[in-house]
Structures are given as structure tokens and as C-alpha cells.
Amino acid sequence: MTSFSNYVVPLVSFSLFVIFVLKWFFNPASTAGKKLPPSPPKLPVIGNLHQLSLYPHRALQTLSKRYGPLMMLHLGSVPTLVVSSADAALEIMKTNDLIFSNRPKVTIPDKLVYGSKDIAFAPYGEHWRQVRSICVLHLLSNKRVQSFRYIREEETDLLIQKIRQSSSSSTSVTNLSNLLVSLTNDTISRVALGRKYSDGEAQGSTKFELMLKEIMELSGVFNAGDFIPWLKWISKVNGFDARADKVIKSFDEFLSGVVEDHRNRNQGKTDLDDSSNHADLVDLLLEIQRENKSSFTLDDETIKAVIFDMFGAGTDTTYTSLEWTMAEALRHPEIMKKLQNEVKQVVGSKKQVAEEDLEKMLYLKAVLKESLRLHPPIPLLIPHQSTQDTKIMGYHIAAGTQVFINAWAIAMDPMNWENPEEFNPERFLKNTALDFRGFNFEYIPFGAGRRGCPGITFAVTVNELALAKLILNFDFALPIGVKEWDLTEDSGSTVHKKNPLLVVATPSC
Ligand code: HEM
Ligand SMILES: *[C@@H]1O[C@H](CO)[C@@H](O)[C@H](O)[C@H]1NC(C)=O
Ligand SMILES: *[C@@H]1O[C@H](CO)[C@@H](O)[C@H](O)[C@H]1NC(C)=O
Ligand SMILES: *[C@@H]1O[C@H](CO)[C@@H](O)[C@H](O)[C@H]1NC(C)=O
């Protein structure tokens, strides 16, 4: 008996000591005693990185069903809060919007946009506020978007013409994805740069395409050093840094050329107050730089970073959303039929869609909304970051925490949506107040709050017009030998269709 207790006492006290040391070691003083959001178990070093899979929005939805609408993940050494319900999103992007309006620094985008001198990746602060308000005022406001109407009309007409050409015989297959990329890319190119660089005559065009592709590829590549600081050397050894530096250099040359072109072309003739003029974004930015009125100086790097943002944030997202909408409409013949009836009825005998008509196409608007619900192009939004310690739903969130908002999971939440898996535009007809402008937190494909997408009106007007014209002008069918419309997702931070949308288009009028 005595010999037994002789062993037990030291053993117990030793164990208690070990537990104490471990607890002290793993609970830094700042969080000790504070309630943290639930976390799935993590591995040493990589933390929860292995749980993201190729489809992070889906993997995170699955985890959130188990750990709740606010959960804490560790992506390598980066603490990441994952938000998966409308209530939690409202807490972050409305109640505590100011605290969560920062962005984490990510290597490749940071380098690409001259040390985050753009809008989307800029840290919260004066620079971001100034550049964002310039872009909103001169490019993305309702008034400016209206003034680019002729560009939208020309580019959507061109889309219809191209489809007519490629569908010369009743069996020829049209690559709709390809044409939709050109539509949004060319539209943005014309309003931002004043012309298209894709016409083929310019030597730079193929180069630009290759550059964009390389950038998209590099941005999608997992950069270990961003999550595990002592792995930073990997990107040097595997050639990743070198590739990035190379494409950044050639992109910079392209953008510098664009800026110089504009500088030589019009030396201070742009009237900033005249929203009806046909000046492009670069003209306007240069004019603001020349006037140098505010305390904020607009340097060349900022101008180039902003142009980069318009392509980076605007093209991919806008075309993807249109591509998903067409794919869903094609997959549901009864929805396509309704769309056709509405468009034909509104347009009537004039046989052409005008922008005024769109206001009357309520079903078409509902179809676009439903497509953005099931297929938000950026399902996790752009990561946010907190700037100070705070409490959300009773949990302690430390300053510097990265935040993923799973807009897709929120829009699939059965608490807020009946049969969420079903593509059913009628739900938006029943509740017309339900909108994507950041006031209904159960539906936030463009984000919300200070960091919400400033390009909503721009994107929606192009897409509504393009969709109406496509529906009015053609009947679409599957290519011969293909059995059904495919809706497989590709992996990546912007979620595209994996396979291009190939159709047989027959002119319907
Ligand atoms: C259907 C098309 C589009 C979708 C789904 C979309 C979605 C988004 C999302 C989810 C964000 C992040 C919001 C957040 O972090 O809370 C964002 C940010 C942004 N978007 Fe869009 N977007 C679209 C079109 C456009 C267009 C056409 C432009 C401009 C030409 C644009 C410019 C931007 C910019 C500059 C930001 C960064 C805002 C900031 O950080 O302050 N977007 N967008
Ligand atoms: C269709 O267009 C997309 C986008 O440009 C391209 O990636 C794809 O290879 C094209 N596919 C076919 C079969 O033409
Ligand atoms: C996108 O626009 C740029 C700039 O105008 C152009 O160089 C490029 O070829 C375009 N890409 C596509 C796929 O249309
Ligand atoms: C703009 O004005 C500030 C002073 O207000 C000056 O420091 C800066 O050099 C000026 N920039 C340009 C490009 O003229």
C-alpha cells in the first residue's frame, strides 16, 4: 500500500505539472480565459490547411455544419475565422464592419498591384478610401454606368453577330464561354482603357492574354510561404517567385504603355465634372493626378494598380456569372421557355432589346439573382482581416484574424432558404425586396459593407442586357452526341464552370 502511494503522489503531481506547462504553452496569455470559437482538430505546422480540399467553399460548409457558423481554423500559422450564417455575417459586415474592413497581405496580389496600391487588396485606410471613391465616382456610379450605355449596346450586338456567324449551319457548335469572356473583357477594356486591345491588329494583344492567364494561374497556386513563414524559401527554389516577377514585369510594361499613350494623347483636356463625356478611366485618373488638388497624390503606380483591379475584379466575375446563368437556363427548359416569353412580350414588335426594356423583365432579373445565389463567382468573398480585439456572438476574436465569409454556404442555408439546392427563380419574384446589394445578409454574392463590391451596377447592366439579347435572338440546343447540360465546378478562388459552354444556336427571328 505504502509503496503504491509512494509512486502515485509524484506521478500525479508530475502529470499536473505537465498539463499546466502544456496549457500555458498552447494558450498564449492574450487568449487565456477567453472563449474562442470552436475549432476542428489541427495538425502540427499545417494546422487545418489539409481540410480545405480543392473546393474550399464546400469543405468549409461541411465543417461548419459540425462546428457552427463561427469557427476558427488555423491555415498554417494564420488564424482564420470562418463565417457561415447570415446572422454571423451581419455581425461581421454590419455591426462590426469598421473592425473587419482590413485585408490580409497575400504575396502575389500584393506584388502585382505595386504593394497593394489598388482597391481590392489595399489595407483599410486613407489610400484605399481615396482610390475607391475615385473609381466609384468616375467609373462605377449609376450615372457613369449610364453614360457607357453605347459601349454595352455595341458590344452585346457584336456578341449576337459573332454567334450568328459561328452558327452558319444547324450543326455547328458555338463556344459560348469564349464569346462571353470577350464580351465582358472588351466592355471593361473600352471603358477603362478607351479601346480594345484584343482586335488582333495590336501586337500586344496575344501577349496580354498570356499574361492574364499566367497571373490567374499564379494566383491560384498555393503559396506555402503565405501560411507557414519558414516555408518562404520554397517559392524561391521552385521558380514560383521568378515566374511571378517575370509576369509582373511584362504586365507593368503593358500598363505603363497604356498610361503613356493616354498622357501623350490628351494633355489635360478632360472635364472631370462632365459625366457625359467619353473620357475613359485612365484619362480621368491622369486628370486627377495633374490637378493635384487634394492632399492625396495619385502616382503612376496607383493608376496602374487601379487598371489592374478593374480587369482582375471585373472580367472574370462578370462573365462567370453570365455563363452560369445561361447554363442553368439551358438545363431547365421550363425556365428558358418563361424567359423567352417574357423577353418577347416586353420587346414586342420592335424585335430589339433596349436598355429601358430591362426594367420590365422581372423574371429575367430573378433568373440572374437565382444564378448568383447558387453560383456566387467568389464564394468566400475576398478575405477580410480584423484590426482590433473584439467579441462576436460571445467569442473572442483577436486583432489580425483573417476572415473568410462563406457567401455560398449562407445562400444554401436551409434556415433561410426553402429547398436551397433547387434552381428556382420564383423565390425572388415572391420576395422582390430580396436583393444582392448588401442589405439582406442571407444573400451576399457581392459582399456587403465598406468592402462590398463597388461594381454591382456595372456588372448587372451588362449581364441583363446580354442575357435578354441572347434569349431573344436564338434557340439553343445541345451539340450532337452530348446528352445533358453539364454544371461541374472548376476549382480556384473564382468558381467557373469546369467545361466551356458549347451550344448549337439557331436564330429565332
Ligand atoms: C457578377 C460580377 C461580380 C461579382 C459576383 C463580384 C463580387 C465581388 C466580391 C464578392 C467582392 C468582395 C467583397 C468583400 O470582400 O466583402 C468584390 C470586390 C470588388 N469588386 Fe466585384 N464583383 C463583380 C463585378 C465587379 C466589376 C464589374 C467590377 C469593376 C469593374 C468589380 C470591382 C470590384 C472591386 C474594385 C472590389 C474590391 C472592393 C474593396 O476591397 O473595397 N467587381 N466583388
Ligand atoms: C472554349 O473557350 C474557352 C474560353 O476561351 C477555352 O478555354 C476553351 O478551350 C474553348 N473550348 C473549345 C472546345 O473550343
Ligand atoms: C482582354 O482585354 C485585353 C485588353 O484590351 C486584351 O489585350 C485581351 O486580348 C482581351 N482578352 C480576351 C480573352 O478577350
Ligand atoms: C502634388 O502636391 C503636393 C503638395 O500638395 C506635392 O508634394 C507633390 O509633389 C505634387 N505632386 C505632383 C505630381 O505634382
DSSP H helix total and E strand total for the chain: 18, 9
**Looking at 106-235, which runs of residues are DSSP E strands?**
174-175
Average pLDDT over residues 270-297: 77
Nearest residue by C-alpha to atom 14 in ligand 2 = 175
- Model confidence at 13, in pLDDT bands (50, 70, 90)? low
Beta partners for residue 397, in sequence order = 390
- Model confidence at 279, in pLDDT bands (50, 70, 90)? confident
Which ligand is located closest to the Cα atom of residue 175?
Answer: 2
409 compared with 76, residue with greater pLDDT:
409
| Residue 1: pLDDT over 60 | no
DSSP 476-493: EEPPTT--S---PBPPSS
106 compared with 199, residue with greater pLDDT:
106
DSSP 237-303: HTSHHHHHHHHHHHHHHHHHHHHHHHHHH-SS---TT-TTS---HHHHHHHHHHH--SSS---HHHH
Task: Decide if 131 contacts 122 (C-beta within 8 A).
Answer: yes
Average pLDDT over residues 26-34: 60
Distance CA 129, CA 456 (A): 18
494 compared with 368, residue with greater pLDDT:
368
| Residue 276: pLDDT over 80 | no
Average pLDDT over residues 332-356: 95
Residue 332 phi, psi dihedral angles, 5° rounding: -115, 90
Grid cell of 414 as nine digits: 436551409
The SS3 assignment for 352 reads coil
Query: Angle 299-305-306 (CA atoms, 0-180°, nearest 5)?
Result: 95
> Each residue of 175-208: b (16+ CB within 10 Å) or e?
ebbebbbbbbbbbbbbbbbbebbbeeeeeeeeeb
Most confident of 120-124, 281-285, 406-410, 480-484: 406-410
Ligand 3 centroid distance, CA of 462 (Å) = 17
Instruction: Give me the pLDDT at residue 474, please.
Output: 96
Block residue for cell numbers 451576399:
444
| Residue 2: pLDDT over 50 | no
Distance CA 238, CA 175 (A): 35
In the chain, the amino acid numbered 59 is: A
In the chain, the amino acid numbered 410 is: I
> Ligand 3, closest atom to CA 198?
9
Cβ-based neighbour number of residue 91 at 10 Å:
21
Nearest residue by C-alpha to atom 5 in ligand 4 = 295
Instruction: Give me the pLDDT at residue 231, please.
Output: 61
Instruction: Give me the pLDDT at residue 473, please.
Output: 96
Lowest mean pLDDT among 16-30, 91-105, 351-365: 16-30
> Ligand 1, closest atom to CA 382?
15
Which ligand is located closest to the Cα atom of residue 158?
Answer: 3
Nearest residue by C-alpha to atom 13 in ligand 3 = 182
Which ligand is located closest to the Cα atom of residue 212?
Answer: 3
> To test ligand 2's pocket by mutation, which of 178, 326, 486 has the most ligand atoms within 8 angstroms of CB?
178
Ligand 3 centroid distance, CA of 311 (Å) = 9
Distance CA 297, CA 299 (A): 6
Distance CA 278, CA 270 (A): 9
Q: Write down the pTM of the prediction.
A: 0.89
Nearest residue by C-alpha to atom 9 in ligand 2 = 500
> To test ligand 4's pocket by mutation, which of 130, 259, 288, 292 has the most ligand atoms within 8 angstroms of CB?
292
Ligand 3 centroid distance, CA of 444 (Å) = 29
Distance CA 140, CA 454 (A): 7
Query: Which of 504, 506, 501 shows the shortest CA–CA distance to 181?
Result: 501
Average pLDDT over residues 81-106: 96
Which ligand is located closest to the Cα atom of residue 176?
Answer: 2
Instruction: Give me the pLDDT at residue 21, please.
Output: 45
**453 annotated as a binding-site residue:** yes
Instruction: Give me the pLDDT at residue 268, please.
Output: 54
pLDDT digits (tens, 9 = 90+) for 194-240: 888 765 544 444 566 667 667 666 665 556 667 666 666 666 666 77
Ligand 2 centroid distance, CA of 424 (Å) = 29
Average pLDDT over residues 165-185: 89
Residue 75 phi, psi dihedral angles, 5° rounding: -90, 95
Average pLDDT, the chain: 86
Nearest residue by C-alpha to atom 11 in ligand 2 = 500
Distance CA 204, CA 253 (A): 10
Instruction: Give me the pLDDT at residue 204, please.
Output: 47
Ligand 1 centroid distance, CA of 68 (Å) = 27
Instruction: Give me the pLDDT at residue 19, please.
Output: 47
Instruction: Give me the pLDDT at residue 3, please.
Output: 47
Most confident of 23-32, 243-252, 407-416: 407-416
> Each residue of 269-300: b (16+ CB within 10 Å) or e?
ebeeeeeeeebbbbbbbbbbbeeeeeeeebeb
Ligand 4 centroid distance, CA of 295 (Å) = 8
Instruction: Give me the pLDDT at residue 5, please.
Output: 47
